[in-house]
A and B are shown apart, each in its own frame.
Chain A
Amino acid sequence: MPTVEEKLICVTCPKGCTLEVSRDGQTVVKVENGCKRGRVYAQQELTDPRRMVASSVRITGGLHPLLPVYTSAPFPKPRIRELLILLRQVEVHAPVKLDDAIIVNALGTGISIRASREIVETNSLDR
């Protein structure tokens, strides 16, 4: 299989080096321009790119209608869209504590979706 040349911006540290990656299918053959961490990043990006995802779900009984949530670990990039669609369907009820698992094992990834903050139960007349 022929080698493919690709450019990738590394985000491991703020420097943001542009890595030149040669790969043979999914196998990384060579990485120019990077450091050790950059090579690890390139390998990961090309075979199994992941991102920390932060979004929100609907919540009733609290001060605001949304509860911010985040993934407990970097999430597979190709499935982020699916995750977001799932999150839109979720509704929880106050009270919620920081890091409560809103979804466990999201989409079978083993990664949970956690509450980014505490939301107490409020009487809406409190406004």
Chain B
Amino acid sequence: MKQYDIIIIGGGVVGCMTARALSRFNLKILLVEKESDIGMGASSANSAIVHAGHDPYPGTLKAEMNRLANPMWDEISAELGIPFRRSGAYIVAVGPDECGCLESLLERGHENRVPIEMISGEEMLRREPLLNPQVSGALYTPTAGMVDPFAACIAPLENAIENGVEVMTGTAFTDFIVQDNKISGIRTNRGDFGCHWVVNAAGVYSDEVMHKAGVRPEFKINTRRGEYYILDSTEIEMSNILFPVPTGVSKGILVFGSTHGNVLVGPNSQEAPDKEDKAVTAKGLSEIWQSAQKLVPSITPRAIIGVFAGMRASGNATCKVCGIDYHHDFVIERAEEVEGLINLAGIESPGLTSAPAIAERVVELLKDAGVSMAVRKDWNPIRKARPRFNHLSRKEQAELVGRDARYGRVVCRCEMITEGEIVAEIHAPIPARTYDAIKRRTWLGTGRCLGSFDMPRVVELLSHELGIPVTEVTKKGPGSEFLVRPTKEVEA
């Protein structure tokens, strides 16, 4: 049985950032991910916002992690080559009744020690002309930003790999190996692995993982699904983040720009007991649409070029701080019932934002537990992002094509993704082995034609680069093959 110091369960943004943080130390680390690729859960289906931190219930772990993490994003995005833009965000009140809510939000912002200011309706309209002219006021949080959420997984994990961390995809945790009430390893569908510590970053399954060790039986994840529309950036140009005045349940349905340039609308928040049911619903879509039009009346359905849905890992943990009546806090703690387990659970919004701070908290928890954490002398914090053809100047594009002709063949016409980039991702440290894996890394197939043009070409490339028949190329792992047989081979 292969032996490690630490095994991380889950390759979402929390697991990946944790792997990177821990890679600083002389520790043998393995990250296991049950899907065919990392970041296939909530990490690639969210609002991609680095929140300012005004919104979480003051005093909670959510509030603390958000506040600690927010300033970390400049450095971490620069070190790791993660697209990030500190754009600021607005909470917009429409109509006279909503204005009162802004006051209490402003107070909460102050309590959370977050830069936040009130601006008038006229000023808000000046900053965002597409807004509903009935805007009555707004709050501005300058420290909010936009990030590429999948890059926020792959960048830290590639950096971790460079610094010695091992990663296994298609590897699902099935049970703990416990001896004398101490975790000594895990069992997976691909064999057993020994370790001294396990970090549970299993997203919507983090409750099931901890229950396997008899930890916190009362803790439960209630998944809530959020649906999103993606709007064509040529139909609507908007680079701000606009929140409505929040409801009790969630931050509300936003209209927001992205690092990619498209405008997104969403998410709603629906109970979704089946953790794998990521369907978009007619009801959800119409709910989002109505809400969005309240903020930006001019958006039309003709601008829609994409839809997706993600699952939030909404937990039922009570905030550990005395006197705070909040029951959906993060779980970031060393397990009590058994030795050698750190649980990171119920990481819904502001989970993406908080990931770098959660990762550092894991380092502290391990240190406190007496784990020997000697810093590697050769730790390299820098991971350089691979070239993105459509982000380069014409001069840079010409140079790139001159260096490697494969960057000269555009495969995804709508997003201008080239063969060179696709091949680079297929052979990267965390290889893209499926169509969706390439899509997450490059935004291929997310444009106007939604992959109609590129799909046959990408399937051919994957087949060629992976040395597999085209009938084995999949969209997102086994069972999602595109092609069933050659045209002329008919079953009798």
A25 located at the interface, meaning its Cβ lies under 8 Å from any Cβ of chain B in the complex: no
Q: Which residue of A lies closest to B487 (CB)?
A: A66
Number of residues on chain A facing chain B (CB within 8 A) = 6
User: Nearest A residue to B460 by beta-carbon distance?
Assistant: A127
B2 at the binding interface (Cβ < 8 Å): no
Report how many A-B pairs have Cβ atoms within 8 Å.
9
Closest CB of chain A to B306's CB: distance in Å? 30
Q: How far is the CA of A121 from the CA of B487 in the complex (A)?
A: 21
Is A93 close to B, CB under 8 A?
no
Q: Which of A1-50 contact B (CB under 8 A)?
A: none
In the complex, chain A residues whose CB is within 8 Å of the CB of B488: 56-58, 66, 88
Q: How far is the CA of A17 from the CA of B487 in the complex (A)?
A: 35
Name the distance in Å between A26's Cβ and chain B's nearest Cβ.
33
**Interface 0/1 of B461-492, CB less than 8 Å to A:** 00000000000000000000000001110100
From the candidates A57, A58, A88, name the one contacting B490 in the complex (CB within 8 A).
A88
Does A110 touch B at the CB level, under 8 Å?
A: no
- In angstroms, Cα B488 to Cα A58, docked, is 7
Is A65 part of the binding interface, using a Cβ–Cβ cutoff of 8 Å?
A: yes
Question: Which residues of chain B come closer than 8 Å to A65, judged between CB atoms?
Answer: 486
Give A23 Cβ to nearest chain B Cβ, in Å.
36
7 additional A-B pairs beyond A56-B487, A88-B490, beta carbons within 8 Å, are A56-B488, A57-B488, A58-B488, A65-B486, A66-B487, A66-B488, A88-B488
Candidate in B486, B487, B488, B490 with the most chain A CB atoms within 10 angstroms: B488
Tell me whether chain B's interface is mostly helix, strand or loop, or mixed. loop
Residue of B nearest to A88 (CB): B488
5 A–B contacts from the bound complex (CB under 8 Å): A56-B487, A57-B488, A65-B486, A66-B487, A66-B488
Chain A residues near B487: list those with CB within 8 A. Answer: 56, 66
Cα(A81)–Cα(B378), bound, Å: 69
Nearest B residue to A56 via CB reads B487
Give Cα distance in the complex from A88 to B487, angstroms.
9
Q: Which residues of B contact A66 (CB under 8 A)?
A: 487-488
Residues 69-111 of A at the B interface (beta carbon under 8 Å): 88
- Cα(A66)–Cα(B487), bound, Å: 9
Chain B contacts of A58 at CB under 8 A? 488
A-contacting residues, B69-96, CB 8 Å: none
B490 — which chain A residues lie within 8 A by C-beta? 88
Nearest chain A residue, comparing its CB with the CB of B486: A65
CB distance from B487 to the nearest CB of A (A): 6
Assembly CA distance A58 to B486 (angstroms): 10
Complexed CA–CA distance, A65 and B487 (Å): 10
Q: A57's closest neighbor in chain B, by CB?
A: B488
CA distance A92 to B490 in the complex (A): 19
| Closest 9 pairs between A and B when the two form their complex, measured CB to CB | A88-B488, A58-B488, A88-B490, A66-B487, A56-B487, A65-B486, A66-B488, A57-B488, A56-B488
